[in-house]
Structure 1
Amino acid sequence: MSGDGAQDGPDALLAAIAEKCGRSVEDTRSVLTRHGIGITRSLAVPKRLCLRSLSFFGEKKGGKAAGTIAFDWPEIGPGIWGITSGRNLRGKSTVLGIIRWCLTGKRSGIPAEMAEWFAAVRLTFTLDNELYEVEIANAVAVRGTLWRGVDDARRAQATFGSEDGFKAAMSDLFMMQLGLSPLVTHTVRPTGESLDQPHDWAFFAGAMSIEPNPDYLFGTVAMSALPTRMMQMFLGIPWTSTNADLVAAKGRLRNQATQNRAVAKGLADRRKDRIEALGKAVAAAEVELRTLHTPAADRAALAVAHQVYADLEARRRAAEAKLVAVEADVAAASEAAAHAGRLLQDFTDDRAAGMVFRALEPVCCPRCDEVFAEDRRAATRDEHACVVCRTAEAPEQDPSEAEERLRAAADLAAGELSYQRTRLRLAREALGSADTASKDAEKVCARIEARLAAPSRRTELEAELIGNKARLEELDAEGEVSSGQDDDGSVIEAALAVVEDAFKPLQESVLKEVSDLILEYAVLFGVENLEETKLSGNTTLRLVKAGVRTSFGSQTAGERARLKIAATLAIITVAERRGVGRHPGLLLIDSPGANEMVAQDYDKLVAGLAGLPAEFRHLQVFVAAVESPTIREHIPEKHRKRAVGDDYLW
């Protein structure tokens, strides 16, 4: 590993951890992943936050101050800005609270009795060159929109309808844009419950606020070394997120071990029943998992089913076409059979009629009723001639040959018709079979598609199975911390050591630079007799004043406020110089003169802040204070939003 950690990538760090704990790289990665630990260097390109305008409207309720609220502050930019009034309690801190509310979604710094005073709030700001607008259309219900862009390019980045939704929208924006990672701390409640607490933008935004009487050098919360994590993150110290995750994991493992030892005595009596119950649950889950289709298998099956359906549908269409052709053949064969039958019938009828007519013996002319004499009838019989017209009768022909031909033709046509009807029956059966098969295949496709569309229990079941198997493994340890946990603990300890080795040299170098700047800025802000400042990795600020060693916590409220401002600006400066870090470059300083700071020190602080923008073009500082000659001298009037005399700011 290189000394400053800057050259070491995630792979090199992981290999060093594996070597230190005597595990393979894959085993080490598996342990870290199991505990939610990502190997990331936590570097990001800084982005500058700059407020551009603020407005809010509503109605004050109750008291002598009742009336309409109409606050509008357009055209804000980088530099130092004043929020001033002639007296205290004229709404200065509330303006800062509304700014913090718009930036974090967390309504803090606004008195509870004013919760329903504000009807609508709008704040515009830029992150580098990208414009955003927070529009709270209904401040009571906390309903609004986060917009991005201007004019035709303006679009809704997020909408929200509750305070939680608002906080989530702003956290998502700033955590992503500033390259921040949530800091997770592990805590144990008095009940013994162990839980992880993630800290996101609402926590990090505390680095932008300087309260009148600060207790902590960074942020507003000192729990679980959070100020240290915040300082490292804003300084751009590599592996910050990894280190925080490792510390949280170590706490989890330590607490798990404590809990395991605490419950070991009572575990023995219940162990057998518990193992049996978990075994049944695992077996049931495994059986159910085998019955559940996987999405990949279903997609593969669906592709096959679609192909089968396509093939069967083609077969059905072919059977349908064939049926149409066979029906035409049947119609033609039926017509041919009917025609042959008619010919045979006509022949039979003609022959029968001829025999009847030849058997007739007319006694008179059918036209004139002349009676034929017997001798005429006899003569015509002998002559084989008609007694009426005396036409010679044609000799009778043998009809059997013609009839045989006609009957053979009729039989042939009937046979063809029977054949075609058989074909028709088979074609209909084939179509029916193809139609049924096609519909069945379509149903198979529909069932698979429904399975893919329906929510699957597989993920839940697999998680439950993993959890139950893990519990079985814990029970197998018979109340002691399992070997797996011991092994995990050794990996976590090794990782902490390696990560600290990776960032400590760089951190010490950076903190030396920050410490020197804290001294420079604190002296600029009027901290008297300050000779030395040393910021340690745990955010402890050691001081030497007039030859005496002391600390941040031992200073007066006014000195702590100035030291906190100096430390915050020092971090911003170092991050700016190194091109890393994530502090957005916005400071909200509330009532720096509210503590026991004397006028001369107050003047030095404001003068020092007013001189900073020349060095930091992107820095933006808001100071909420009572109007004074110091404010008027160092903050231009166009940079002040002020209330004169007894007036209110809004």
Structure 2
Amino acid sequence: MADETALETRIAARAKVAVGDVRSVFEAQGIPLGLPPARPRSLRIHRLRLAGVRTGTLEPGPFDKTFEFADGLTALVASNLRGKSSVLELVTWCLRGTPRETSGAIHWLTEVDLDATVAGQAMGFRLNLQSQEITSAIALSGPDQQTLATLRSPDPAQGVLPLFRATNSESYAQQVEALMMQWMDLQPLVSAQKGTTAVAHGWPAYYGALYMPPARSAALLGDVVMAGLSGRLLQVFLDLPAAAVLAKVKTQTTLMVTARQRRQSTATTAQAERAEQRGQIEADLAAAHARLAQLTQAAGGSEQESLADLAEATKRVSTAAVNSEEAWEELMRLHRQARSQRQRDEKLLNDVRESGIARRLFHGLDPTTCPRCDQGFADERRQLEVRDHSCAVCARPVQGDDESPEDVVAEAEERVKSSKEAERLAREALEQAETELDQVSRDLRAAQDRLRQADAAARVPEHAQAREAVLRLEGALSVLPELPPPAVDPAEDLAIKVLRAAAKTLEDDHEKEAARLFTDLNAEISDLARTFGFAALESVSINRAAHLAITSDGGKERNFTDQVPGERLRLRIAVIVALLRVGAAHQISTHPGLLLIDSPKAEEIQDVDIHLLLQELNDVAETNHLQVLVTTADFGLAHDVLPAENIKEAAEGKPLW
């Protein structure tokens, strides 16, 4: 048995990480940390009903045919092209979700019913067909086969309930796969395709181990040769510890390692290409600089200033000049305003010294426009105010004199003093602004002169071309920075490390279990193959990849694919029965125990050999809880080997259904 220490603990120890890291990686990858031993997954069919309308010249008209199947070997016997193989295909359609091959006679069918026991549960599959397509279907669960046999729809009163419903062939196939994977306690078989894509093989791949492929097929177990599926089926049917988990772990490890390698290779290649590009540009830039320096020196001066730099400097000085001019104009306006105020204050002082009326109006308003219509007063109204003592606003006469002329004069004098000071400050600010404006103007003229000179120098053809080459190469270099080394993803590194340790740990568990099981399995395969007529067989050796080495004919070792079709068929059947025997002996869940074989006599087996094969297969099926359906066109063969109740036959030339 495998080490009983928790799988996550053993993986953590091998990877030298914390147990929590192992759990996190498996959770992130969606992989369970091991699986319990599988539940029993036996599969038996009991009743197949076919109904429809036959067309053509052979017994046309409606039909409704029911086949009953028992354990052991059942032979479907009819002339060629009379419906034998289509029975296997219709059983396959119901249980697999799609037929392996489509028979031409299927277009006659309108209803197909199959009753089966799936992992101990009585189930019924009811298909309604039109033009070889499902129009509606339902899967039922019931208390027993007798109850299911009377119904095509749910009947809760009798304990018959729906498991799923489908409205077309595609939906039926998807739902049958999900149902069978669940009830048969199976996990998807995941493999990596070209190291880049994960491919999941579900129930159809498992079903290939129930319906024997053509004898010439290279697959020992199942009907798919690629992706190592034969080995994975073998591991599952021997219930090796977490076989499906190991497949997922290996696949995910392959995908992650491949993705990392491709990413690193791409980054390394990009780095090399970028370094080569930069090296070439840097060499070209050095040559361009040398050429420009040579032309500048030949022109008799130092290298000209950059046009772009000079243009930027000129722009800055020009902006400063505009700002200075605007500031000067504002200060000029303030100076003029201050001067006007000073002049008004001086005139007012003169007026209050000479006129009592002026002193009386001194503290009043001094509007320049009408407060109602906002129009200015005419000069003559101001003159009338002085000459005739009439108010410039309302034109009424102003009489009397101010009672405190000294105070009015003193206040007027103070106003003149303040306005003079304001005018002086405004004039000083204006003079400072004029000085700054002059300096900025000189700077602007100088910058413009340098720009014109540089532009004139740059317009010399060779010099301009050389400078353009320098600028172009500098620009090219700036948009091609050095690439960083390939990024390291610690989470990815941890995941790969943990998955690799998990694969090795599970492989160790498998090897321990295989050592316990494969000796018995090899012995059983050898005994059964000889029993089935492979007389020259001496021994076989099978490994976990389902590679079968056969020793026969005096010690000569050959592979499974080196055998003739008849021997391949015997070996396939021997492997299935051996799995059942070893499973029973070691109390593990194994092959479902249902086997479909189409026309074994056609696989280059002599009459005496096929009699022996079917006789022994009948005995083995009865003693190993195996249900086998075989088709044959040899009426005598079936009756020589089987009792009448195990034969489903049609008269020679007549249809089986």
Identify the TM-score tier after normalising by the shorter chain: 0.5 to 0.7
Matched, 1:159 2:165: yes
Look up the match of 1:257: 260
Look up the match of 2:49: 55
- The structural deviation recorded for 1:477 is 7.8
* Contact preservation (8 Å) 1:183, 1:241: yes
Look up the match of 1:471: none
Q: Give the Cα separation in 1 of the matches to 2:506 and 2:602.
A: 43
Q: Structure 1 residues 605 and 581, CA, compared in 2 at 3 Å: closer, same or farther?
A: same
1:343-358 superposed matches below 5 A: none
Q: Structure 1 residues 69 and 262, CA, compared in 2 at 3 Å: closer, same or farther?
A: farther
1:118-517 superposed matches below 5 A: 118-127=109-118, 129-138=120-129, 140-150=133-143, 151=147, 152-188=158-194, 194-213=196-215, 214-264=217-267, 478-479=485-486, 482-517=489-524
1:31-110 superposed matches below 5 A: 31-61=25-55, 64-65=57-58, 67-68=60-61, 70=63, 72-85=65-78, 87-110=79-102
Look up the match of 2:593: 585
1:25-36 superposed matches below 5 A: 25-36=19-30
Q: Give the Cα separation in 1 of the matches to 2:543 and 2:46.
A: 36
Kindly provide the CA deviation profile for residues 233-263 of structure 1, in whole angstroms up to 9, marking residues without a partner as x.
1111112122111111122113212431453
Look up the match of 1:613: 621
* Contact preservation (8 Å) 2:67, 2:648: no
Q: Give the Cα separation in 2 of the matches to 1:583 and 1:596.
A: 27
- The structural deviation recorded for 1:60 is 4.2
Look up the match of 2:348: none
Q: Structure 1 residues 42 and 69, CA, compared in 2 at 3 Å: closer, same or farther?
A: farther
Q: Structure 1 residues 489 and 91, CA, compared in 2 at 3 Å: closer, same or farther?
A: same
What is the root-mean-square deviation of aligned Cα atoms in Å? Answer: 2.4
- The structural deviation recorded for 1:54 is 0.3
Secondary structure at the counterpart of residue 141 of structure 1: strand
Give the partner amino acid of 1:121: V
* Contact preservation (8 Å) 1:527, 1:601: no
Q: Structure 1 residues 22 and 128, CA, compared in 2 at 3 Å: closer, same or farther?
A: closer
Q: Give the Cα separation in 2 of the matches to 1:262 and 1:163.
A: 45
Q: Give the Cα separation in 2 of the matches to 1:477 and 1:76.
A: 70
Q: Give the Cα separation in 2 of the matches to 1:268 and 1:116.
A: 62
**Identity rate, percent:** 26
Kindly provide the CA deviation profile for residues 581-624 of structure 1, in whole angstroms up to 9, marking residues without a partner as x.
242111001111112111111111101111123312x3211011
- The structural deviation recorded for 1:114 is 4.7
Look up the match of 2:427: none
Q: Give the Cα separation in 2 of the matches to 1:639 and 1:29.
A: 53
Give the partner amino acid of 1:126: T
Look up the match of 1:281: none
Kindly provide the CA deviation profile for residues 482-505 of structure 1, in whole angstroms up to 9, marking residues without a partner as x.
443333222221111111111211
Kindly provide the CA deviation profile for residues 166-223 of structure 1, in whole angstroms up to 9, marking residues without a partner as x.
123222322222211111112139xxxx322222212111111113423211101122
Q: Give the Cα separation in 1 of the matches to 2:105 and 2:272.
A: 58
Look up the match of 1:21: 15
Q: Structure 1 residues 121 and 497, CA, compared in 2 at 3 Å: closer, same or farther?
A: same
Select 2:108's aligned residue among 117, 125, 128.
117
Matched, 1:632 2:639: yes
Look up the match of 1:523: 530
Q: Give the Cα separation in 1 of the matches to 2:654 and 2:530.
A: 35
Give the partner amino acid of 1:125: A
Q: Give the Cα separation in 2 of the matches to 1:536 and 1:25.
A: 32
- The structural deviation recorded for 1:226 is 1.3
* Contact preservation (8 Å) 1:204, 1:219: yes
Q: Give the Cα separation in 1 of the matches to 2:84 and 2:231.
A: 30
Look up the match of 1:296: none
Secondary structure at the counterpart of residue 509 of structure 1: helix
Between 1 and 2, higher relative CO (CA 8 Å, sep ≥ 6) is seen in 1
Secondary structure at the counterpart of residue 486 of structure 1: helix
Q: Give the Cα separation in 1 of the matches to 2:241 and 2:62.
A: 47
Kindly provide the CA deviation profile for residues 323-344 of structure 1, in whole angstroms up to 9, marking residues without a partner as x.
xxxxxxxxxxxxxxxxxxxxxx
Secondary structure at the counterpart of residue 207 of structure 1: coil
- The structural deviation recorded for 1:128 is 5.3
Structure 1: runs of 5+ lacking an equivalent: 272-475
Q: Give the Cα separation in 2 of the matches to 1:224 and 1:481.
A: 31
Secondary structure at the counterpart of residue 600 of structure 2: coil
Secondary structure at the counterpart of residue 32 of structure 2: coil
Secondary structure at the counterpart of residue 208 of structure 1: coil
Q: Structure 1 residues 518 and 138, CA, compared in 2 at 3 Å: closer, same or farther?
A: same
Give the partner amino acid of 1:169: Q
* Contact preservation (8 Å) 1:49, 1:128: yes
Q: Give the Cα separation in 1 of the matches to 2:550 and 2:531.
A: 16
Q: Give the Cα separation in 2 of the matches to 1:126 and 1:209.
A: 17
* Contact preservation (8 Å) 1:508, 1:537: no
Larger radius of gyration: 2
Structure 2: runs of 5+ lacking an equivalent: 148-157, 275-482
Give the partner amino acid of 2:519: K
Look up the match of 2:352: none
Q: Give the Cα separation in 1 of the matches to 2:544 and 2:586.
A: 18
Give the partner amino acid of 1:78: D
With normalisation by structure 2, the TM-score equals 0.62
With normalisation by structure 1, the TM-score equals 0.63
Q: Give the Cα separation in 2 of the matches to 1:537 and 1:241.
A: 13
Q: Give the Cα separation in 2 of the matches to 1:204 and 1:571.
A: 14
Q: Give the Cα separation in 1 of the matches to 2:14 and 2:170.
A: 43
Secondary structure at the counterpart of residue 587 of structure 1: strand
Kindly provide the CA deviation profile for residues 94-114 of structure 1, in whole angstroms up to 9, marking residues without a partner as x.
110110110011132223x45
Q: Give the Cα separation in 1 of the matches to 2:650 and 2:634.
A: 9
Give the partner amino acid of 2:14: K
Q: Give the Cα separation in 2 of the matches to 1:28 and 1:236.
A: 24
